[in-house]
Amino acid sequence: MIEYDVIVVGAGHAGIEASLACARLGFKTAMFTIRLDNIGEMSCNPSIGGPAKSHLVKEIDALGGQMGKNMDKSFIQMRILNTKKGPAVRSLRAQADRKLYANNMKKTVEKQENLDIIQDIVTEILHEGNKVTGIKTKNGLELKTKKLILSTGTFLNGLLYIGDKKLEGGRMGELSAKDLTKSLVELGLEVRRFKTGTSPRIDGRTINFDILEEQPGEIGKPLKYSFSSKDEDVLKRRQLSCYLTRTNQTMHDIVLNNLDKAPMYNGTIHSTGPRYCPSIEDKIVRFSDKSSHHLFLEPEGFDTTEVYISGLSTSFPASYQQQMVNSIKGMENAKIMRYGYAVEYDFVSAQELDYTLETRKVKGLYLAGQINGTSGYEEAAAQGLIAGINASLSLMNKEPLILYRNSSYIATMIDDLITKRIEEPYRMFTARSEYRLILREDNADIRLSKYGHDIGLVSDEEYNKVLEKEKTVKDVVEFLDKTSVGISNTTFRDLLEKYGETTKSGVTLKEFLRRPKVSYEDIKNIVKEMGIGYNLDFRDDIEYQIEVVVKYEGYIKKAYQMIEKAKKLDNWKIPSDFDYDNMKGITGEAKQKLKEKRPYTLGQASNILGVTPADIAVLIMYLDGRLKC
C-alpha cells in the first residue's frame, strides 16, 4: 500500500496552501483533486483582497504562503481601498486574470518537490479507533497516511441550483464528492449545510462601457501582496479597468414578481447563505427601502471577453437572469456566457476543531476552508496554511503554531470559528478584531515573519529584509523625535503657511509629522534643506509605515496596553488534561463549553460564549493552586 506523510483532499486555495506547506517542510505529500485542470480555480469573483481580506493575504505571505506571490504575478488590476479612512482599514484589492492565476498555481504545485498531485475522488476516511490511517478513492486506491487535511470547498455533497434545475456538483461542470460526508458522520463529527452562489458572466463585447463609470487600476505605484515580489515586476504589469453600474426598479420588479421561481424563496433551498454576500434576490427583499444596488463589472482576464458581474449572485432560471441583466444600464444588449447558480454543500461544525485545526475527536484529521463554515478565498487559504503547518509540526513532534487574537486576523478568524457558533458562512471583517489598529496590512511581515522563519517557510534572506525594515522604521522615528526644526527653515515656514498651522517656537519633526495635513514627503523636504546628511528616502511601504507609526502613536500605545492586559490571560496556560468536571464555583454551561473547546490559555477561555468573567476568576484560582479539583 502506498504511504504518505500527509494527504490533502482538495486543490483549491486551502488545499494548495496546506500541500505546499507540508511539502516545503520536507514531508511526502499527496494532493487529491477531482480535476487537475481546475487547480487554484477562482470559482466565484476573480478578485482577492479588500478590508481584512487583504490583511489575511499579507499574513499568509508573512508565514511563507503562496497566495500573495501568485496574485502579484496574475493581477489585471490593483487598487488601494479606503485611502480616506484610517490605516486599520486601508487595504489592497486586486482583480485576477482567472486562468493566469490558476495556471500559475498549477505550475507552482507541479514543480514542488515532495508533492504528488492525483486526480481522483476521495470516498472514505480510514481509521483505527479515533486515529486517521488512510483513505479510499473512487478509482479503488487505498493509501496510508499519518495526517489527513480535508479542504473540500463546496464539493462535499454539493448540489447546484438554477431555477427548478438541480444538478450534483461542487462547481458548474464538476462532480460532487458525495461519499465523504458518510465517513465524517461515522467518525462522530457534526455535519451541517450551507449555501453560496455566483453571478452570471457576460460577453464584454455586448456591454456598452461608454455610458458606465470607469474604475481604473492605480498605475505608477508598486502595489503588491507579497513582501518578496519585486517592485519592477508589479510596476510593468498591464492593467484593465473595471466599471460600475447599478440595479434599478425595473430589475427589482422582475425579481419581486417572480420570487416563486427562486430556489431561495420557493422552499427548494433551506440552508443558510452568506449574509454579507447575499444573492441579488435576497438583497432586494431584505433591503426593500433601497431603489438600487451597486454592481461591479470585472473582466475575467486579458485573453477573454468574459466579464463577471459582482453583486448579482443569483439562482433564478436562465431566462429570468437574461431579463434581469438586460434591464441594467449599459447591459441592455448584453449576452450571458455563463449563468449564475446557487450551490449547497456540507460542512463540519468548527466546534469540532482544536486551535491547530485538527479535529478533537479524530487525531490526525485536519479541516481547512469552507468545510469549516467559512467563505472566501483568503479565509480558506489562511486556514489551509495553518493546517499544513500544524500537521507538519506534529510530524516533527514540535509544539503547534497557536496564534492569538492580538497577533493576526488569522488568529481572530480561528478563535471566532472555535469559540462562536457559526450560523452563516463566516467572512473576515476588520470590525471582528479588537486590535485592528495594530493588525494593519502594512506591518503583517513584522508581526508574523518570525513564525514563518522559525518554522522553515520563510528564507533567511526574506526574514533579514523584514528585520531591516523593522530597524529602519524604529531608527527613523527616533531621529524624528530628537530632531527639531524652527521657522528659520524656509520649507518648514512655507508648510506652516500652506496648512494654516502655527508654532511659537521650533518643534520636533515627529511632532510636526503628527499633524493631520503634514506628510512624510514634507518631512523629507525639510530635512533636505537642513543639510544634515540624514537619508529619509526609502521604499513606499517603509515610508508609509513610518508615517502611520508617528501619526497614530497615541492610539497605538493604547492598543498595546490592551494587548498587554490580554497577554496576562494568554500567559496562563491550561494543561491539556485539566479536570473541569471536578471544578466547583463555575456554571454548568461554562464547564461544558470548556470541556468541549479545551482552550490552551485563559485568554482563549475568556472568548468562549457561555464562559463569564466570574468563571474565569474561579479558573484562575484553580490554576494558581488556591483551589484544588
Residue 11 assigned to a binding site = yes
CA 567 distance to own-chain centroid? 24
Residue 438 assigned to a binding site = no
Residue 493 assigned to a binding site = no
Residue 597 assigned to a binding site = no
- Helices 444-455 & 53-62 angle (0-180, nearest 10): 40
Residue 577 assigned to a binding site = no
Instruction: Decide: 17 and 386 in contact? Cβ < 8 Å.
Output: no
Residue 284 assigned to a binding site = yes
Instruction: Decide: 277 and 361 in contact? Cβ < 8 Å.
Output: no
Instruction: Decide: 80 and 91 in contact? Cβ < 8 Å.
Output: yes
Residue 613 assigned to a binding site = no
Q: Show the DSSP H helices in 426-482 as ranges.
A: 444-455, 460-482
Which DSSP category does 337 fall into?
A: E
Phi, psi of 197 (to 5 degrees): -165, 175
Residue 499 assigned to a binding site = no
Interatomic CA distance for residues 127 and 187, integer angstroms: 9
Q: Of 423, 64, 441, which is closest to residue 276 (Cα–Cα)? A: 423
Residue 521 CB contacts under 8 Å (≥ 6 apart), including other chains: none
- Residue 627's Cβ-side half-sphere holds a number of Cα atoms within 13 Å equal to 15
Residue 281 assigned to a binding site = yes
Residue 287 assigned to a binding site = yes
- Helices 377-395 & 53-62 angle (0-180, nearest 10): 30
Residue 172 CB contacts under 8 Å (≥ 6 apart), including other chains: 160, 338, 341
- Residue 68's Cβ-side half-sphere holds a number of Cα atoms within 13 Å equal to 27
Beta bridge partners of 142: 136
- Helices 13-24 & 377-395 angle (0-180, nearest 10): 30
Residue 296 assigned to a binding site = no
Cell of 616: 474565569
Residue 278 assigned to a binding site = yes
Residue 276 assigned to a binding site = yes
Residue 216 assigned to a binding site = no
Residue 13 CB contacts under 8 Å (≥ 6 apart), including other chains: 40, 67, 369, 377, 378, 380, 381, 384
Residue 168 assigned to a binding site = no
Residue 285 assigned to a binding site = yes
Q: Of 418, 408, 438, 454, which is closest to residue 600 (Cα–Cα)? A: 418
Residue 286 assigned to a binding site = yes
Binding residues for NAD(+): 273-287
Binding residues for FAD: 10-15
Binding residues: 10-15, 273-287
